[in-house]
Amino acid sequence: MTGRFCFIPRATYGDYVSDLARGVLASGAARHLRDACVDLTEAPDAVTLHLSSGRTIETDRVVLATGHDAKPSLEGIPAEQPWTEGSLDRLASDAPILIIGSGLTMVDMTLSLDRRRYQGPITVVSRRGLLPSAHRPAMQSCLAEQEVPFGAELSALLAWMRGLATRLTAEGADWRSAFDALRPHTQRLWRSMTLEQKRRFCRHGRAYWDIHRHRMAPEVERHMVALRSSGRLKLIAGRVLGAEQQNEGIHVSILQRGSGAVEDHRFARVIDCTGLPDNPKQSSNSLIRALFARGLARADPLGIGLDVAENYALIDAEGRPSHRVQVIGPLARAAFWECIAIPDIRLQCEEIADAFVAELAESV
């Protein structure tokens, strides 16, 4: 797709970022060590990193930017992780596949199967049976802070959002313009909610937010529509009750939403595309486990990330913010919600860098 409204492959964007990183490393402004940090200790005047090689590094500040953790296996279900090496090996081109979860990870996995010339049937099951919406060329709109009802009840927020979408549509835009206009205010809106409001949002509204906020490229949508129209892709609203590995495949029982009907299926492979891990205490990262074990970190009250202060400081088990350790990206999503996409992480990095520079200037 060419023109102003287009989407490049993720791999191409990855090459671009890698090229920028190589330039920074070549300049000597940054240094890259290939090692693993397994623990850290914070003193009043420094932080010491303990590496798996046995080395230690002493530094003034630490930013935890570890990205997405590996996800724990689905309990009782012999499922493959989508990006694990070899997860699609030895798969017959016409073998039936079950994908659990219907978000963008499922979409990416479906495209990956197509690139491997896979021609078999794909069944997708998720609690609500919702697919991500698609991007469209839409009129850009801006919202002033005073227009956003920070701190309002969820029902009032929903009514306001619907009204905003209706107004923008009447002006020649559509609902996408409303979501995009809200983006600069999303973190403040999230932080203005009470804990109970956040819980209710995660329980009832999160799935609907995700399909409107995290959208497919138009060409990808066309591909998914073609797969469904051909019968190769089947979407079920429901949940997996149980699965058992047998000689001839994986036998799976699926409870359909609403009807209560249970369907029994046999698949050659089950793939877990249910999204990000929610419980940081189950992290496979040695550093995160060590921080929990020594009380240097705690889970946020929602249990979906680390407890992080508004200035990105890591909060310990006693509720004290660190003076030298900060957290950005997926680990901080409980504090900021919208903080896992590159534009959001870029802003986090900019804020931390500006604070570092200001602090250095004051100390001179």
Please give the full DSSP string across 69-96, using - where no structure is assigned.
PPPPPPTT---B-TTSTTTTTT--TT--
- In 3D, which of 312, 316, 317, 315 has the Cα closest to residue 329? 312
Q: Is the pLDDT of residue 1 over 50?
A: no
| Cα 164 to Cα 169, 177, 270, 361, distances in angstroms | 8, 9, 40, 43
- In 3D, which of 82, 143, 140 has the Cα closest to residue 113? 82
**48 vs 281, more confident:** 48
Average the pLDDT over 19-37 and give the result. 94
**CB-based contacts of 160, cutoff 8 Å, min separation 6:** 149, 152
Q: Say if strands 249-256 and 233-246 run parallel, antiparallel, or are unpaired.
A: antiparallel
CA gap 238, 133 in Å, rounded: 20
**96 vs 279, more confident:** 96
DSSP assigned state of 110: H
Both tokens of residue 271?
């793939």
Q: Is the pLDDT of residue 289 over 70?
A: yes
The domain locations on the chain are 33-70+280-363, 97-133+220-272, 145-213
Average the pLDDT over 45-62 and give the result. 96
The per-residue pLDDT for 5 is: 59
Q: Is the pLDDT of residue 148 over 90?
A: yes
What is the rounded average pLDDT for all residues in the chain?
A: 91
Side chain identity, residue 77: I
**Can you give the pTM of this predicted structure?**
0.86
**88 vs 315, more confident:** 315
Side chain identity, residue 204: H
In the chain, % of residues over pLDDT 90: 72
Is the torsion defined by CA of 197, 202, 205, 209 positive or negative? positive
Rounded to 5°, the CA angle 346-348-354 comes to 100
Q: Is the pLDDT of residue 2 over 90?
A: no
Q: What is the pLDDT of residues 118-134, one digit of tens each?
A: 999 999 999 999 999 99
**220 vs 88, more confident:** 220
Q: Is the pLDDT of residue 327 over 90?
A: yes
What architecture (CATH level 2) is domain 33-70+280-363?
A: 3-Layer(bba) Sandwich (3.50)
Average the pLDDT over 61-73 and give the result. 87
Domain spanning 97-133+220-272: CATH 3.30.450.20:
no
Q: Is the pLDDT of residue 38 over 50?
A: yes
Out of 1-5, 254-258, 272-276, give the one with best mean pLDDT. Answer: 254-258
The per-residue pLDDT for 288 is: 95
Q: Is the pLDDT of residue 3 over 60?
A: no
The per-residue pLDDT for 343 is: 83
Q: What is the pLDDT of residues 169-209, one digit of tens each?
A: 999 889 999 999 999 999 999 999 999 999 999 999 999 99
The per-residue pLDDT for 73 is: 79
